[in-house]
Structure 1
Amino acid sequence: MNDSRPCLECINTIFYRPFQAMIGCQVFFAIASILSVTHFLLVFIRPSPLHRNFKTLLTIYFLNSILHSCIFLASVGSLFYRVFFYENALDAFMDRNTYIILHLLICFTLNVQILSEFLICVERVIATIRVSKYENENSKLTLWMFFAIIFFLPVAFIQWAYYDENFEQPQLFPLVAPISAQQKINILFVIGMLFVVSALIITFYTRYINKRKKTIYQFRLTTRYQIAENIVTSHIMSTVLFSNLFVTIFFTVSIMILRNLRDNDFVNQNLGFYSTIKLLVYPHHVAAVIIPMFSGCYLQKLRQTRIESLTNMVTIQSNGKIASETYRTYLTRQWT
């Protein structure tokens, strides 16, 4: 490959107006995603009566989304700095150390996103299996195991993919992976899709099982409450997983197609346009805006239904003072 090609691509891209406009759109969605996720966590998740393990894992998932958006905004800040202080062709490139830090952090957040989704589904399986006891189960060891998997497994994946990478190739933006590491990254994309598909299958199965259990009135009130919670959380996770599966497949297929077109004559003559399209097919920030909004609307509509469901549970299960005390206990745990 011609050594001047990366330099030419950077120069043709960094001042290309459609590319700058696309950066502006991505910045808008990144900021909107931070606000959307923050609102969802504070209004719907933090005061919710959902089990601590589920709330913790879901919070990690959405906080990771905020971290991803913040890293992207830092990357854009680096780009604008280079545009503002541009003097020669070398100024178009990212500083090598800055690129390494931001690129690896982006890879880390993408891996954490998929693993946290998968572990949330695993946690819901545990809640389904131990439905009669799970309401009062708050094992710190289980949470620490989840934390270890969410943190160390992405680090291991990144270590494997970039073990022999020297990061010597100049780069314009941290979303672009080094050419020598792209084959291993493609493998990670495939593994990620397998995780998402597996999690989706697990979610549908647990939702089916809990809906069947809901029709059995022999369960205690606390058990039936846990079953209702399992159904609600399964619905939330199916929405998240469907969205993420679409994002993962769309982004992976788009990037693979663009890589195959890299040596096309039209692309060589329109490198700025090519870079703009690569940024256009990065849908993570749009998904990070939509998912919390959709989930929040669902939980908002569910609020009254949950209260009515608890009322029916108490009516079926007990009478008198016990019913009154049980109802009051669970009612105070509803959405504030």
Structure 2
Amino acid sequence: MRLSRLFTLLLLVTSLGACSKKTVSFNSRTDVPALALNDTLATSGDTTKAPSLDPKKVAALTKAQEKAAKDKERAELRKTKKKKNIFLGERIKKGFAKSGPKGKNQVLEIFYYLKTYKEPNAYSTTVYYFNPRKRKIFRAATELNPATDKVLHGPYKKFQGGKLIETGFFAVGTKHLRWEKTTKDNVLTSKIHYEMGFPRDANVTYYDTDHKLVKEVVPYVNGKLEGEYARYQENGQRDWSGEFENGKKVGEWIKYWGFRNRRHYVYQYGESGYDPEVAEPTLVKEYNRNGVLVYEKDKLDKRDAITDRPGRKK
């Protein structure tokens, strides 16, 4: 009897000892819930967009997530493609102007201008601006009006009858970078590279050793006189301006009074540098010191009323 009780007691002790030293394999499943431990190397932000590790859930969510991701990507792409109109650091606005009769000869110009007025460089040989009321591009003959004149700045294209005939860029009213002219048959007729209004190969001379007071700008392209010419007085005001083509003076050449860049005399040379050169230009316009037109060839002549005209006998 004693032996049977002792044997029963030994079995009970043995079973209790085995339960106190239970070993759990990593591959085993236990009914005891595991303690949740916080990973200090990860945050909710790191795992918010992490894919699920459940293959069934991945398969179920992939199509929806993929569609949402693509839609988001397209939206982001549209945002990046929607570029702000900025050229050389300046905000610009698009414009266009039409001229001539409708059809094959109608001219369309597409261009940009500064949203906020900026004064062109005083030494710019020619300044271009857009007048919204007249819907036309002009070459500045006098000082610009900040309230009405829109300074051209940005890409420029000119079409005739739907055919591209001229391309280039403006920078604060002056021609900049490469300008090309072509015929309606896409034959290149002219290509000039400008740097803020000056032909890249222009010969520039100065009044001072610091190269701040420009005296004369003589345009050269491939070693030949080509482009806009300008001469300035020592006070920075214009003295002469004109244009060379194929080594010859063409178009209007202007002599200025010497203050406020006001015109004095306007002379006319030939229309093309490929025609015989005009030895003696024709005086076509004359202005008094107040900027009033007093003479226009075959139309107007009020020069007798001028008392400050050079060479006039008093």
Higher relative CO (Cα under 8 Å, sequence separation at least 6) belongs to 1
TM-score by length of 2: 0.20
**Higher alpha-carbon Rg:** 2
Q: TM-score, normalised by structure 1?
A: 0.19
- The answer to which structure has the higher strand fraction is 2
